[in-house]
Amino acid sequence: MAKTTGRLHRRTLARLRSELAELMRTVRHLRAAAALLSWDQETQMPAKAADSRARHLATLEGLIYRELTSSRARRLAERLTAVLPHLPDRDQRMARLFLREFHRAAAVPQSFAERLAYTQAMAVDSWRYARQENDFYLFAPYLQQLVQLKREQAEYYGYTEHPYDALLELYEPGMRLSTVRPLLEHVVQRMRELLQWVQQHERPRILLPPVSCTAQFILGRHLCTTIGFDLERGRVDYSAHPFSTAIAANDVRITTRCSEQDPRMCVYSLLHELGHALYDQNIPAELADTFAGEGASMGIHESQSLLWEDIIGRSLAFCRWSLPLWRYYSVGAGSSAWERVTAEQLFRALNSVEPSLIRTEADEVTYHMHILLRLELEEALLMGKLRVKELPEAWNAGMERLLGIRPPDDRTGCLQDIHWSLGDFGYFPSYSLGKLYAAMFWKRLRQDIPDVDESIAQGDFEPILTWLRRHIYGVGALETPEEILHRVTGERLSADAFVDYITDKLRLVYSDAL
């Protein structure tokens, strides 16, 4: 009897595996096509193609939806659910990833999925125009529609505590507003104290000499490829808003933007996207066509971008390695000025702390105030406590409350981020969570590789990459964020490692010894 069951089980398992693999492959390939259409939209697409592109993307979304809600998918979901506890661990994890997507798709009608995709694609265009024209009210009607759609989406998905949880779940599986909000408020409280300390220890501001945009781009690309970004398996381009996209593990594309005034922007945007890209380029090939062939969550993904951009990229060791490259690539106006910059000055310039208007340019301390503001506003919009037309004023008031500064216009205020236009409500907390994860990973990595600073100062990033491959990249999304964090650090999520890391760093930045 056991023998027969065993044989039957093996055959059943093989069939389930192959059906699951085929379904996931189709969805992943459709998503790859959509990812390319979106990348092209940001980097190559002719100006007047926005509408047709939006409709093409909506059709692909619709097909993914159809794939995930087909009778075949439904039957597979039923059978997987029935045998779930009896599946081998890896199959069980894969099945859970599929079931999560299946339930998400099955929860909303196709017309809703298509409406959401279309509205998002149109909204992003309108956001771009509104931002260019510096007028929130050109974007407001689309935002209004998106807020309404997001409310509906939360109801379709369902939640136990708060509608916002249903959206958070999309980016950070298992996370709740009741966890992330107090955590973020705690971080912000500690950062306010730190900001006060910094303001008491003010030192003259260091301005980096100018570097031409072309040179910034080439320098940034040089840093990325030296660290480990493979240009035969990816690209670097310009776009209005820097991003990273994985069309395939062998086709990972990052973008950046540039400011002649602030040469840090281009390079550190690239180092940020590099962190995402290294993650995506290093996920095992055998996971590529499965739902495990991507990052474990947005928070874990952001932990990788912030690890490279901030923790490694803004370290004194990194400045020691990269300063000669800044000098090498700075030709023309700023060239001789760069000869006089020291690694310590570069370190201080990269880590100066000061309240500012733009999130993506904020320092590591005030960054979390930007995130808390967005979390509060998202929650208020979603719950109807705030009306869309009141957003600019609420934004500006929040900036004054949290950072003591007030945006002079929409462009530097509530129009600065692309996220809402993409329908990404619930995404912003991932950035702060990512920083907390990153600091916890980094603490563990330093214990495992005590001489990591010397490696960085010598431009040898292989020890770090080897560690990341082994501990983070290798599992793709087979483990949950919580599992990864616990396996790697032995601890549960907390702000301690981050607070320690940033306090130590700022003591150094603002010390007289430097």
Site mask for a copy of itself (CB under 8 A), range 256-295, x = bound: --------------------------------xx------
Site mask for a copy of itself (CB under 8 A), range 61-80, x = bound: -xx-----------------
Q: Which stretch binds a copy of itself (CB under 8 A): 22-30, 113-121, 147-155, 376-384?
A: 22-30
Q: Which stretch binds a copy of itself (CB under 8 A): 189-197, 227-235, 326-334, 352-360?
A: 227-235
> Among residues 404, 419, 449, which one has the least CA distance to residue 167?
419
Q: How far apart are CA 488 and CA 476, in angstroms?
A: 14
Single-letter code of the amino acid located at 284: P
Which member of 233, 327, 469, 486 binds a copy of itself (CB under 8 A)? 233
Q: How far apart are CA 166 and CA 37, in angstroms?
A: 27
**Pairing assessment for the beta strands 251-256 and 244-248 based on DSSP bridges:** antiparallel
C-beta of residue 357 within 8 angstroms of C-beta of residue 413: yes
C-beta of residue 377 within 8 angstroms of C-beta of residue 388: no
CB of 371 to a copy of itself, least distance (A): 33
Q: Indicate which residue of 273, 294, 302, 379 is catalytic.
A: 273
| Four-residue CA torsion sign, 473, 477, 478, 482 | positive
Q: How far apart are CA 240 and CA 263, in angstroms?
A: 16
Using the minimum distance from each CB to a copy of itself, give the nearer residue, 71 or 261. Answer: 71
> Among residues 172, 427, 176, which one has the least CA distance to residue 296?
172
Using the minimum distance from each CB to a copy of itself, give the nearer residue, 197 or 238. Answer: 238
Residue 109 backbone phi and psi in degrees, to 5: -70, 150
Which member of 148, 250, 342, 447 binds a copy of itself (CB under 8 A)? 250
Using the minimum distance from each CB to a copy of itself, give the nearer residue, 208 or 246. Answer: 246
Count of residues binding a copy of itself (CB under 8 A)?
38
Using the minimum distance from each CB to a copy of itself, give the nearer residue, 251 or 354. Answer: 251
C-beta of residue 347 within 8 angstroms of C-beta of residue 314: yes
Using the minimum distance from each CB to a copy of itself, give the nearer residue, 25 or 387. Answer: 25
Cite the DSSP H helix spans in 295-341.
298-306, 316-329, 335-340
Segment 26 to 65, residues that bind a copy of itself, using CB under 8 A: 26, 29-30, 32-34, 36-37, 40, 44-49, 51-53, 55-56, 59-60, 62-63
Is 273 known to be catalytic?
yes
Which member of 10, 25, 75, 86 binds a copy of itself (CB under 8 A)? 25
Using the minimum distance from each CB to a copy of itself, give the nearer residue, 29 or 90. Answer: 29
C-beta of residue 107 within 8 angstroms of C-beta of residue 159: no
> Among residues 245, 247, 260, 256, which one has the least CA distance to residue 222?
256
Q: How far apart are CA 230 and CA 415, in angstroms?
A: 34
CB of 273 to a copy of itself, least distance (A): 15
Residue 111 backbone phi and psi in degrees, to 5: -60, -35
Instruction: Tell me which residues are annotated as active site.
Output: 273
Binding site for a copy of itself (CB under 8 A): 25-26, 29-30, 32-34, 36-37, 40, 44-49, 51-53, 55-56, 59-60, 62-63, 230-235, 247-251, 288-289
